[in-house]
C-alpha cells in the first residue's frame, strides 16, 4: 500500500452520496463514517450530503442514520458526544436524478457547506445507485461545472457492477472519462478493503520464509473459494441478468487471483501494484471452447436445508424465472502462463446457498518424495497455507508432526494466527478503509480500468460460449458444497477441494 504522511494531506471534503436512502448507505457507508470519527480519522472540516427520492427532513434522516450506526457499526455502543458532532454534519436533499434543477440547487448548497464546514471545495461523489444512473449523474455534475479539479479536488466512487459485459463497460468508462480522470475514478471492490487481503502482500513480501516458495517448484495448486449460505434474497431481478460468473468471478475472484499470483512490485505505490495485477490478467491461459467444456462447472441451487431450516430453490426466489438457467455457482480451473506459475492450476469456486459462509485462499504445497515417511504413511497430508478472508480473518499453516507417545504416528497440526480473535472490533471494516483511502487520494485498493477491461474480456469469452446450452438445473442442493461435477474437476487431476 502507499505509505502516506497524513500530516501533510488535506482530508477536508464533502461526501455526496447518491442513493442516500438505500441499503448500502445505511448498512455500510454511514456506519463507516461514524467508525472513522471514532478512530480519529475523520477531519473536522467534513460533511455528508445524502441524496434520495424519499421526502425527508434533515432531522428525520439523521434519526435514520443514528439507527443504522447503532445496528451496524463495529463499535458496540454509540458515543453520544461523537454522534452529536457527526449529526450536525449530515444533510439530506431530495430530488430525482433526472432533474437538472436538483443538481443546480445541490451546487449552491455545497458551496454554502464549504463556508460552514471549511471543506474547501473538495468533493467525493459516491454513486450508490443502479449502474444505469452512472452516466446520467456524471453528465449532470459536469453540466453544473461541479468537477473542476483546480485548487480543489473532486473524486468519484462507483459501486459494481461496472457494466454488464465488455462493450457496456467500455461505453460507461468513456462516458465517465469525459468528466473524471482515471486518477479521480475509484471503482470499489469491497473485497480489496478486507484486512486479510491487504495483509496478503505483507505475508508474501515481508517474510523470507514464504516468497522463495511462492512458485511452481514448491506449490502444487492454489484454491480460491468464496461461498455464501444466503440465496439471492431480494436481488433476483439483478441476479437473473448477472449470475455468479459476472457477479463474483469478474471482480472479486479475479482480484483475489491477481493479488495471490502477482510478481513483487517495484515499490508500494498504486501504479506499481496495479501494473503487476494487470500482468496476471494478461497472462491467463486462453479460454477455448474445449476448456470451457472441461474446466468450468456451473450450477444452480435447488431446495435444501441451511442451519436446520428448509430453504427454497433459486427458481422459487422472487423475480426469478421458474425456468431460469442462471448460474448461482461457478468452479473454474485456470492457469497463469508465466515463468513463476507454469504448470500450477488455480482452482476457483464461488456459490450461493452453500454449506458454509467462507472466503479463503489455500496454497497447497507439493508433497514430499515417496521415501521415508511418505512411503510408510500413505495418507500423509500435504502442507497447506490458508489465508482466511472472511468471516474468520487469519492465517494458518498446516503441517505434519509426530503425535506424542511411544508409537511413530504422524498427524497434521495447525500453526494458527486468528486476526479477528485477537483484535475483534479494532479491525476496520472494508468500507471504512476504502472511504478513508479516497479521502487521501490513495487508489491502490480500487480497480483500475485496465483491470476491469481484461477481466471482462475473460468473462465474456466464457459467457458467450455458454449461450443457451441445455444444462439440467438445478444441480445442487442448498446446504451442500455445490455440484458433484465441481468435485470431479479436481479428482480427475488427483486433487481435492479443501473444505476446512
- For residues 485 and 297, is the Cβ–Cβ distance under 8 A? yes
Enumerate the active-site residues: 252
Bridge partners of 377, per DSSP, are: none
Residue 474 preceded by cis peptide, ω within 30: yes
d(CA 184, CA 180): 6
d(CA 200, CA 260): 7
Q: Are strands 410-418 and 394-402 parallel, antiparallel or unpaired?
A: antiparallel
Cα 393–Cα 398–Cα 403 angle in degrees, nearest 5: 130
- For residues 124 and 147, is the Cβ–Cβ distance under 8 A? no
Closest CA to 472 of 355, 330, 324: 324
- Strands (E) in 19-82, as ranges, are 46-52
Q: Where are the alpha helices (DSSP H) in 88-133?
A: 100-117
Closest CA to 420 of 377, 385, 389, 449: 389
d(CA 233, CA 274): 34
Distance of CA 80 to the CA centre of its chain: 32
Distance of CA 471 to the CA centre of its chain: 29
Q: At what angle do helices 430-439 and 30-38 cross, to 10 degrees?
A: 80
Amino acid at each position: 500500500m502507499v505509505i502516506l504522511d497524513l500530516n501533510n494531506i488535506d482530508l477536508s471534503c464533502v461526501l455526496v452520496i447518491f442513493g442516500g436512502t438505500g441499503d448500502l448507505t445505511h448498512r455500510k457507508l454511514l456506519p463507516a463514517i461514524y467508525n472513522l470519527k471514532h478512530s480519529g480519522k475523520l477531519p473536522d472540516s467534513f460533511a455528508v450530503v445524502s441524496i434520495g427520492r424519499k421526502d425527508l427532513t434533515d432531522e428525520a434522516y439523521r434519526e435514520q442514520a443514528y439507527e443504522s450506526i447503532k445496528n451496524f457499526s463495529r463499535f458496540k455502543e454509540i458515543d453520544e458526544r461523537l454522534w452529536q458532532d457527526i449529526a450536525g454534519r449530515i444533510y439530506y436533499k431530495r430530488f430525482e436524478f433526472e432533474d437538472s434543477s436538483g443538481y443546480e440547487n445541490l451546487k449552491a448548497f455545497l458551496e454554502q457547506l464549504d463556508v460552514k464546514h471549511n471543506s474547501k471545495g473538495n468533493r467525493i461523489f459516491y454513486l450508490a445507485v443502479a449502474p444505469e444512473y452512472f452516466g446520467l449523474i456524471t453528465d449532470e455534475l459536469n453540466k453544473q461545472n461541479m468537477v473542476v479539479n483546480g485548487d480543489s479536488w473532486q473524486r468519484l466512487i462507483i459501486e459494481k457492477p461496472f457494466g454488464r459485459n465488455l462493450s457496456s463497460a467500455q461505453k460507461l468508462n468513456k462516458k465517465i472519462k469525459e468528466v473524471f480522470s482515471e486518477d479521480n475514478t475509484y471503482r470499489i471492490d469491497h473485497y480489496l478493503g478486507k484486512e486479510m487481503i491487504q495483509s496478503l502482500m505483507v505475508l508474501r513480501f515481508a517474510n523470507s520464509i514464504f516468497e522463495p516458495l511462492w512458485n511452481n517448484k514448491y506449490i502444487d495448486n492454489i484454491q480460491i473459494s468464496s461461498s455464501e449460505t444466503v440465496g439471492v434474497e431480494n436481488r433476483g431481478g439483478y441476479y437473473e441478468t448477472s449470475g455468479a460468473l459476472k457477479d463474483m468471478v469478474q471482480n472479486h475472484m479475479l482480484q483475489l487471483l491477481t493479488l495471490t499470483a502477482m510478481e513483487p512490485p517495484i515499490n508500494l505505490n498504486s501504479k506499481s501494484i496495479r501494473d503487476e495485477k494487470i500482468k496476471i490478467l494478461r497472462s491467463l491461459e486462453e479460454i477455448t471452447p474445449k476448456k470451457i467444456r472441461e474446466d468450468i462447472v456451473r450450477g444452480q441451487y435447488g431446495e435444501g436445508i441451511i442451519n436446520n431450516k428448509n430453504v427454497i430453490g433459486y427458481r422459487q426466489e422472487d423475480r426469478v424465472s421458474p425456468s431460469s438457467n442462471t448460474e448461482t455457482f461457478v468452479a473454474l480451473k485456470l492457469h497463469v502462463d508465466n515463468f513463476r506459475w507454469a504448470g500450477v492450476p488455480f482452482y476457483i469456486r464461488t456459490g450461493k446457498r452453500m454449506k458454509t459462509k467462507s472466503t479463503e485462499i489455500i496454497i497447497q504445497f507439493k508433497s514430499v518424495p515417496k521415501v521415508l515417511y511418505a512411503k510408510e504413511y500413505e495418507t500423509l497430508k500435504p502442507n497447506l497455507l490458508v489465508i482466511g478472508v472472511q468471516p474468520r480473518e487469519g492465517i494458518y499453516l498446516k503441517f505434519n508432526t509426530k503425535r506424542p507417545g511411544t508409537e511413530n504416528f504422524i498427524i497434521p497440526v495447525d500453526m494458527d494466527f486468528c486476526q479477528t480473535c485477537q483484535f475483534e472490533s479494532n479491525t476496520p471494516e472494508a468500507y471504512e478503509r476504502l472511504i478513508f483511502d479516497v479521502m487521501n487520494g490513495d487508489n491502490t485498493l480500487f480497480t483500475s480500468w485496465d483491470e476491469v477491461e481484461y477481466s471482462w474480456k475473460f468473462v465474456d469469452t466464457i459467457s458467450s460460449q455458454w449461450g443457451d446450452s441445455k444444462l439440467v438445473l438445478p444441480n445442487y442442493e442448498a446446504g451442500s458444497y455445490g455440484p458433484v461435477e465441481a468435485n470431479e474437476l479436481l479428482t480427475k487431476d488427483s486433487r481435492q477441494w479443501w473444505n476446512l
